[in-house]
Amino acid sequence: MPITHFNFRKRYSKYMESKSHKEAPSIALVPKDDPTTLFTGSGMQQFVPYLLGESHPLGTRLYNIQRCIRAQDIDEVGDNRHDSFFEMLGNWSLGDYFKKEQLVWFWGFLTKELHLPEEKLYVTVFKGVDGIIPDDDSYNIWRTIGIPENRIFKYEGNWWSRAGAPSQMPTGEPGGPDSEVFYEFTSVAHDPKFGKVCHPNCDCGRFLEIGNSVFMQYKKLPDGSFELLPKQNVDFGGGLERLMMAMEDNPDMFETSLYRPIIQEIERITRQKYDGDNKHAMRIIADHLKASVFLIEDGVLPSNKEQGYVLRRLLRRLTVKLRKLLGQLPSANEVAQISKIVHEMYEGVYFKTGDDFSLVSRTIEEEIKRFSLSLEKGLKEIQKMETVSGKDAFNLYQSFGFPLEVTEELLREKGEAVDKKQFNDEFQKHKDASRSASIGKFKGGLADNSTKTLRYHTATHLLHQALYDILGSEIRQEGSNITGERLRFDFYSTQKPTPEQIAKVGEIVNTQIKASLPVEFKNLPKSEAEKLGAMSFFRDKYPDMVKVYFIGDYSKEFCGGPHVKNTNEIGLITIYKTEKIGSNLYRIYAK
Ligand SMILES: [Zn+2]
Ligand SMILES: [Zn+2]
């Protein structure tokens, strides 16, 4: 039986469970309260508190398959291996097993479960840099497994930390070596433009990274040296799409079974073949539409801010591409047909069979209609221009809603490049609310654990409960965002909160803060936590065992932590702004 993406996921689950791992289900694409990033961009995101020392309710061996969006890769989509939506297989050891188990198990999964030919697999290990010894442990483990010396490569770049290379890490920062596995596409000839000889880190496309095991091993000391962490963790991530490319021995991701049905539908609708110049456009349409469907399913709607603006850019860019292939603007029905295929492909995995899909098609349809009106006008403007400066590109954005990459692409057809810096400078000048989303200031990785962040985060638990008390049980959290300066909390409510109600909410929160309530957690079976009435984030699926944080008797909420130990550490808060951000959606700011 061929390995499809359906049974691939099942195989990974079964394999990890045979090694005593528990599944922590995929979280929503818009993380509930991670201030560092707009989207869930890796499997490790939900494990951040645990990698920094909190205990996980499911134990010390965990795995999952996480849906992810990387907005910073949008520009790159169009070649044979970049996508903005992807799924990541991941497993974690929280102070449990280490290098030997991890490398032997992953190798076993690749060669015995997936039957990838060993001679096409290459591995890389940390070479040593800045006085840190090379990762000989991993090297020797790979040799013991039977990998010949000529398929093991040592690089200085095989190092992970939040700050980058060892020399850039601040004191106290955790980091460690990583070890990657690469698949060799023997059908792709090395391009000498990238160097004399080909090797796993060569950019010619012959090699593809299919998995990375990070060993969080060291902590940086004030004198610049490193000591071993008391609890060493493993963080493994491998892209499902990339593993499918290796499985199907196809260097074009868009020809694998994770994309083929979508590409075929685009071919049918546009009456064009997936070859030559069409490939670039069809890849963008397929990727962007897939990402859009998932974003809308996870509660994002097109807007000019943050996540909503990323969705808008995806939909607008794919509209421009479809218009080019069709020779005219796509109809809403044509786009809906393609998005239906996306839905079918992931039915039973992320979407329930028989789910109502009308919100997705309606949202896409409305956005395309809105954009179509200004697209033709904007195109006429571009025709008139001899060259398009960064400033012109900004005007096209402001007047016609052309995201920068759309303008860039229309120009690429004219053979010109837009001055990105000038565009961004204009953005800064106009202090547009969406600038961070547009320029792409996205950080991934571990969230900040500063005292202020802990205080504000703990305050959101109190706020959540206070809103529930004042506005009723139908309210639900839609997200939160915390910086060193303030907290922000989004919620759903069918009634518009009055200023008096908001004032009351603020009072309640401060009363609880003054009451010096202890903040403690318990690990509980999910059903018991639900019976207790603990608040949860409705977009996330939770595992059978969950961590519930109790703030005195006042609040109980599903959360990984960390928090302050007592509410008196929070300090009094002031709600300084409340706004409506969508249909039945409200946002509160407090500091
Ligand atoms: Zn090469
Ligand atoms: Zn919390």
Please, are residues 530 and 556 in contact by the beta-carbon 8 Å criterion? no
Per-residue pLDDT at 441: 31
When mean pLDDT is compared across 99-103, 106-110, 297-301, 580-584, the lowest value belongs to 580-584
Do 36 and 66 belong together in one domain? yes
The last residue of one of the domains, among 207, 228, 250, is 250
Do 214 and 301 belong together in one domain? no
Distance separating alpha carbons of residues 55 and 545, to the nearest angstrom: 12
Give the residue-averaged pLDDT of 26-41. Answer: 84
Do 243 and 128 belong together in one domain? yes
Strands (E), 526-590: 545-551, 555-558, 575-582, 585-590
Please give the distance, rounded to the nearest whole angstrom, from the Cα atom of residue 190 to the centre of ligand 1. Answer: 4
Strands 555-558 and 207-220: unpaired
The answer to the question of residue 432 being in a domain is: yes
The answer to the question of residue 373 being in a domain is: yes
SS3 72: helix
Distance separating alpha carbons of residues 327 and 323, to the nearest angstrom: 6
Per-residue pLDDT at 370: 87
Q: Is residue 375 pLDDT above 50, yes or no?
A: yes
The answer to the question of residue 57 being in a domain is: yes
For residue 298, which phi and psi values (nearest 5 degrees)? -95, 15
Do 224 and 279 belong together in one domain? no
The last residue of one of the domains, among 250, 279, 299, is 250
Give the residue-averaged pLDDT of 108-136. Answer: 94
Please give the distance, rounded to the nearest whole angstrom, from the Cα atom of residue 193 to the centre of ligand 1. Answer: 9
Please, are residues 105 and 136 in contact by the beta-carbon 8 Å criterion? no
Q: Report the CATH number at residue 176.
A: 3.30.930.10
* DSSP, res 197: S
Per-residue pLDDT at 74: 83
Give me the helices (H) in 304-450, please: 306-326, 332-345, 358-384, 390-400, 404-412, 420-430, 435-439
The answer to the question of residue 464 being in a domain is: yes
Q: In one letter, which amino acid is 444?
A: G
Please give the distance, rounded to the nearest whole angstrom, from the Cα atom of residue 140 to the centre of ligand 1. Answer: 26
Ligand nearest to the CA of 562: 2
Per-residue pLDDT at 110: 97
Q: Report the CATH number at residue 570.
A: 3.30.980.10
Do 263 and 239 belong together in one domain? no
The last residue of one of the domains, among 419, 439, 459, is 439
The answer to the question of residue 312 being in a domain is: yes
When mean pLDDT is compared across 26-30, 122-126, 480-484, the lowest value belongs to 480-484
Do 174 and 61 belong together in one domain? yes
Which of these, 335, 341, 384, lies nearest to 361 by C-alpha position? 335
Do 472 and 331 belong together in one domain? no
Per-residue pLDDT at 438: 33
Please give the distance, rounded to the nearest whole angstrom, from the Cα atom of residue 200 to the centre of ligand 1. Answer: 8
Q: With the CA atoms of 508, 54, 545 and 566 taken in that order, what torsion angle do they form, in degrees rounded to the nearest 10? A: -20
Ligand nearest to the CA of 560: 2
Do 271 and 209 belong together in one domain? no
The answer to the question of residue 347 being in a domain is: yes
Per-residue pLDDT at 431: 53
Ligand nearest to the CA of 557: 2
Residue 169, both tokens: 């890490």
Strands 22-23 and 61-69: parallel
Do 123 and 149 belong together in one domain? yes
Q: In one letter, which amino acid is 435?
A: R
The answer to the question of residue 90 being in a domain is: yes
pLDDT tens digits for range 471-510: 998 899 888 888 778 899 999 999 999 999 999 999 999 9
End-to-end CA distance of the chain: 58
CB burial string 143-162: b at 16+ within 10 A, e below: eeeebeeebbbebeebbbbb
Q: What range defines the domain where residue 552 resides?
A: 451-590
Please give the distance, rounded to the nearest whole angstrom, from the Cα atom of residue 562 to the centre of ligand 2. Answer: 6
Which of these, 442, 443, 446, 444, lies nearest to 50 by C-alpha position? 446
Per-residue pLDDT at 444: 31
Per-residue pLDDT at 435: 37
Report for 54-58, 118-122, 326-330, 485-489: range of highest mean pLDDT: 118-122
Do 268 and 359 belong together in one domain? yes
Q: Is residue 115 pLDDT above 70, yes or no?
A: yes
Do 20 and 107 belong together in one domain? yes
Give the residue-averaged pLDDT of 360-369. Answer: 91
Please, are residues 76 and 203 in contact by the beta-carbon 8 Å criterion? no
For residue 77, the tally of other CB atoms under 10 A from its CB is 24
Distance separating alpha carbons of residues 321 and 323, to the nearest angstrom: 5
Please give the distance, rounded to the nearest whole angstrom, from the Cα atom of residue 116 to the centre of ligand 1. Answer: 21
Which of these, 499, 391, 537, lies nearest to 29 by C-alpha position? 537
On average, the pLDDT of the chain sits at 89
Residue 448, both tokens: 């900040």
Strands 159-161 and 226-239: unpaired
Ligand nearest to the CA of 54: 2
Distance separating alpha carbons of residues 232 and 451, to the nearest angstrom: 24
Distance separating alpha carbons of residues 343 and 490, to the nearest angstrom: 28
Do 136 and 41 belong together in one domain? yes
Report for 356-360, 376-380, 441-445, 552-556: range of highest mean pLDDT: 552-556
Per-residue pLDDT at 1: 65
Alpha-carbon 23 to chain mean position: 18
Distance separating alpha carbons of residues 326 and 151, to the nearest angstrom: 47
Report the domain count for the chain. Answer: 3
Ligand nearest to the CA of 188: 1
Ligand nearest to the CA of 205: 1
How would residue 570 be classed by pLDDT, with cut points 50, 70 and 90? very high
Q: Is residue 460 pLDDT above 70, yes or no?
A: yes
Please give the distance, rounded to the nearest whole angstrom, from the Cα atom of residue 558 to the centre of ligand 2. Answer: 7
Per-residue pLDDT at 67: 96
pLDDT tens digits for range 394-403: 888 888 888 8
How would residue 38 be classed by pLDDT, with cut points 50, 70 and 90? confident
SS3 34: coil
CB burial string 26-44: b at 16+ within 10 A, e below: bbbbbbbbbbbbbbbbbbb
Distance separating alpha carbons of residues 123 and 139, to the nearest angstrom: 9
Per-residue pLDDT at 442: 32
pLDDT tens digits for range 413-449: 665 677 777 877 777 776 543 333 333 333 333 345 6
Q: With the CA atoms of 22, 27, 32 and 36 taken in that order, what torsion angle do they form, in degrees rounded to the nearest 10? A: 90
Calculate what percentage of the chain has a pLDDT beyond 90: 62
The answer to the question of residue 419 being in a domain is: no
